[in-house]
Amino acid sequence: MATLLRHSETLKGEADVHLVLLDDEPRAYSVPSWVRLTQLNAQGSLLKSYVQTRRLFKQLRPDLCLSFLTRSNVVNALLQPLGHHVIMSERVNTSAHLGTGVAGQFARFLVRKTYPTARAVICVSSGVAEDLIANFGVDTSRTHTIANPIDAEAIARRAHCAAQTGAPSRPYYVAMGRFVETKNFGLLLTAFAKADLDADLVLLGDGPLRPALEAQIQALKLDDRISLPGFQDNPFPIIQRARAFVLSSNAEGFPNALVEAMSLSVPVIATNCASGPSEILAHCSRETISFPNKAAHGLLIPCNDPAALANALEMLENQDRRCGLAKQAHLRARDFTPDKAAHAYWQVVHDALEAA
């Protein structure tokens, strides 16, 4: 969202643009000075989000609201009686993201009731769109697939800065993300232990599963070869030096970190999860992939398959193979420019306003 706004200077003369943040949390990204920023304090609550946003919208009277993430999307739809047009941006594979307990079932109910009412739903990958159509009643004609923007020039500049913490002196593989179940870093640890590698492993990030991952590393007796340096404000110096980037997720919407690594000419390995990796690496939907698979721009492996991931890691011990995939990765990353994404987003907005 922040990247889109930074590449949307043309909006300055067309409309007043407000950015509303639902929760009072530290801001990880800056936004342009011409965007009017309002930070609410809903504390993660759907009800508080609705009440506070409704109060604000009664003051602002927006013509259109483009919302990001499930809670924002639901609130946006519930406020339609105030008279604005609703466009949603779905960032995740909805079925995989929402839980299966009581809270998850309620969230699914809200999505089924609200998402189909939007004038348009922008999805970060075709897999996300297919899920909304098949499982949540969103009409095909209202979905638009626009991949996340990756600012390769900004990433390259940051990659040349000094790393916050020292990377291993030996060659290493790298992965990055929240330490949560869907990222499935446990799979990567198991595969790394199986593989015959002359390299170390760095896991960038943090989260509730950190103690479990640390225990698994100790059980595998790999304390001297696997490091968990925590969250990095600038992870790109470490990623750029890696032998390869590994995505081991069970589910994604559009894996930003994967394409960010590719933009730095780093070879990549990814599980063929829902949604995104097959579209990025093989230009096709998840259902058409067979294994073993060396996609055009990286290595795709089945989900939850330690042997396949270990084999892929061993394949990238070969320098010639790494060099070839590095070139293909960088070439593909150029398809996800911010200017291209911003133009596509605002075209959906303009079409919605013109059709009103």
How far are the Cα atoms of 32, 140, 143 from residue 122, in angstroms, in the given order? 23, 11, 6
Rounded distance, CA 222 to CA 172, Å?
Answer: 13
Tell me if 2-149+337-355 shares its fold with 152-333.
yes
Q: H or E stretch including 228?
A: strand 226-230
Question: Is 51 exposed, middle or buried (CB count within 10 Å of its CB: 0-12, 13-18, 19+)?
Answer: middle
What does the pLDDT read at residue 276?
Answer: 87
Q: What does 247-302 look like in DSSP terms, one character per residue? A: E--SB-SS-HHHHHHHHTT--EEEE--BSSHHHHHHSS-GGG--SSEEETTEEEE-
What does the pLDDT read at residue 283?
Answer: 87
Rounded distance, CA 4 to CA 338, Å?
Answer: 6
Task: Report CA 145 to chain centroid distance, whole Å.
Answer: 14
Q: H or E stretch including 39?
A: strand 36-39
Structure tokens at 301: 């492996």
The amino acid occupying position 94 is T
Asked whether the beta carbons of 68 and 91 are under 8 A apart, the reply is yes
Asked whether the beta carbons of 161 and 140 are under 8 A apart, the reply is no
Helix ranges, 63-209 (H): 70-78, 94-97, 102-114, 126-135, 152-159, 185-194
Candidates 3.90.180.10, 2.160.20.60, 3.40.50.2000, 3.90.1640.30; CATH matching 2-149+337-355: 3.40.50.2000
Residue ranges covered by each domain of the chain: 2-149+337-355, 152-333
What does the pLDDT read at residue 286?
Answer: 72
Q: Say whether 147 sits in a helix, a strand or coil.
A: coil
Rounded distance, CA 90 to CA 124, Å?
Answer: 7
- Among residues 89, 99, 102, 166, the alpha carbon closest in space to that of 128 is found at 89
What does the pLDDT read at residue 121?
Answer: 97
Task: Report CA 324 to chain centroid distance, whole Å.
Answer: 25
Characterise 20 by phi-psi region: left (phi > 0), alpha (psi -120 to 50), beta (else): beta
Structure tokens at 287: 């259902």
What does the pLDDT read at residue 167?
Answer: 82
To the nearest 10°, the Cα dihedral for 181, 66, 131, 77? 100
Structure tokens at 219: 């059980």
- Among residues 309, 297, 294, 61, the alpha carbon closest in space to that of 192 is found at 309
Structure tokens at 338: 């911010």
pLDDT in tens, the chain (356 residues): 899 999 998 888 888 999 999 999 988 788 999 999 999 999 999 999 999 999 999 999 999 999 999 999 999 999 999 999 999 999 888 888 887 789 889 999 999 999 999 999 999 999 899 999 999 999 999 999 999 999 999 999 999 998 777 788 899 999 999 999 999 999 999 999 999 999 999 999 999 999 999 999 999 999 999 999 999 989 999 999 999 999 999 989 899 999 999 999 999 999 999 888 999 999 887 766 666 566 789 999 999 999 999 999 999 999 999 999 999 999 999 999 999 999 999 999 999 988 86
User: b/e for 261-297, b at 16 or more Cβ within 10 A?
Assistant: bbbbbbbbbbbbbbbbbbbbbbeeebeebeeebebeb
How far are the Cα atoms of 34, 35, 346 from residue 8, in angstroms, in the given order? 11, 10, 9
Which CATH superfamily is 152-333 part of?
Glycogen Phosphorylase B; (3.40.50.2000)
Rounded distance, CA 86 to CA 80, Å?
Answer: 7
What does the pLDDT read at residue 291?
Answer: 63
What does the pLDDT read at residue 292?
Answer: 58
Q: Say whether 240 sits in a helix, a strand or coil.
A: helix
